[in-house]
Amino acid sequence: MTNFTSNTYALKRKILTFTNKISNHLSKPEKKFVADITYGMLASRSCLLTDVVDQLHEPSKKINIVDRLSRHLDKGTPAPAAASYLQQVKKMVPAEPVIYIDDSDVVKPDGYKFEALGIVRDGSESTATKSVYKKGYHVTEACVLTASNHPVSIFSHIHSSREKDYKSANTITFDAIKQGASLFGKATFAMDRGYDDNKMFLKLDELGQDYVIRLTAKRRLLYHNKWTPATELCNRRKGRVKTSVFYKGKEHEAYLSHVRVQITASRKDIYLVLVYGITEHPMMPATNKAIKSKDDVVRVARTYFSRWKIEEYFRCKKQMFQFENFRVRKLKSINALNFYITLCMAFLAMISMGSETNALKAAIIKTADPVKEKVFFCYYRLAKGVSGILSYAREGVRLWFRTKRPKYRQLCLKLAV
């Protein structure tokens, strides 16, 4: 690749333009901090403050810069910045948004000084037959699909049951649902089996939202005025609609069927979509969206299967930005740091929406040197390419915030008369 400095300058300018939109209503020191932390994490691919400082190339002592960043994180997430971020995300989303809600974990097995550190199930080491528990925090995330079919977060909260005045995980999930409903008016919420709860169905009905929620094998449904196990309905029917779906990184042939039922929560008519041929037991997504044709059945099934993107979103945060490697100890600071990682992911989403002929995007992908020409989830190569281009920088973004000084008048001497 030629002309590295031009690409570096163009990328810096794009990052500064993005962060200025987020920090538009903040004070000047806070604007500088938002630019510093976002640029530093994108350049270092790390949320560790010492790694961030290395990419800022400031003449001050390293410990002083780390202290400055820490003090800003201690203040928490600025409300005007969070509101501006949501407005920027809203511009990336198509007319009929799809929102995924899922829980993850942040494991700190050797941590002792972190505030309200609890016990969580380690998803990376646990299996279907064995659960591994370690010290850490729960993470509740809500992501919306952009026009380029990539997830970007609209709600991300790190919490622990050991917090003072902690209510429940459901309360935080309800906050995520309300956030999506207030931001878009109406959306389709896609969730996995962990959210097969009557409270979830009632909350979504109360807010007037559409949903696609996979049911568990224990669920009983009202079918022809008789309460019937959902698994029994699977055994009675066969998939008559054949379609291809993308599941766990591969294309699969699935056979679909649907049946109108009622659920114990609201006693409203919903549809149970039965998916055969993917797993050992049929999958059972339930939806309140109208199904009038085969295309509607296929659309509901694909909406559920696209839910894997939020799991890949979690994995990308942990691998590309070392999400579990933070050192800040207060829960308020941890959530603030999580917000700035979310900004970095949103910046990657903005880059992914660019045209393939865009010179900067082409330079980023070429710098990443990907093995495959095309992938369904491009955040990894974009993060690697951005970091590679910024590695040629010899200064950070501090000098881009020049102090505006008034023009001094020329000195005039009054002659005594």
**pLDDT (tens digit, 0 to 9) for every residue of the chain, 417 residues total?**
444 578 999 999 999 999 999 999 999 999 999 999 999 999 999 999 999 999 999 989 999 999 999 999 999 999 999 999 999 999 999 988 999 999 999 999 888 899 999 999 888 788 778 888 999 999 999 999 998 889 999 999 999 999 988 999 999 999 999 999 999 999 999 999 999 999 999 999 999 999 999 999 999 999 988 999 998 988 888 888 888 887 777 788 889 999 999 988 777 889 999 999 888 888 999 999 999 999 999 999 999 988 888 999 999 999 999 999 999 999 999 999 999 999 999 999 999 988 777 899 999 999 999 888 888 889 999 999 999 999 998 888 887 777 666 666 666 666 665
Provide the β-strand partners of residue 212. Answer: 190, 287
Q: Establish if 76 belongs to a structural domain.
A: no
**pTM, entire model:** 0.91
Q: Establish if 266 belongs to a structural domain.
A: yes
Q: Is 191 helix (H, G, I), strand (E, B) or coil?
A: strand
Residue holding tokens 């997430």? 77
Distance CA 298, CA 273 (A): 9
Q: Establish if 264 belongs to a structural domain.
A: yes
Q: Give the residue from 148, 132, 145, 215 showing the smallest Cα distance to 180.
A: 145
Q: Establish if 131 belongs to a structural domain.
A: no
pLDDT (tens digit per residue) in 136-172: 999 999 999 998 889 999 999 999 999 988 999 999 9
Q: Establish if 171 belongs to a structural domain.
A: no
Domain count for the chain: 1
Structural domain for 292, as ranges: 213-298
Q: Give the residue from 291, 100, 74 showing the smallest Cα distance to 177.
A: 100
Q: Give the per-residue pLDDT at 245.
A: 85
pLDDT (tens digit per residue) in 308-354: 889 999 999 999 999 999 999 999 999 999 999 999 999 999 999 88
Residue holding tokens 């910024």? 390
* φ, ψ for residue 134, nearest 5 deg: -140, 170
Distance CA 48, CA 66 (A): 10
Residues in the chain: 417
Q: Establish if 236 belongs to a structural domain.
A: yes
Q: Establish if 234 belongs to a structural domain.
A: yes
Q: Establish if 283 belongs to a structural domain.
A: yes
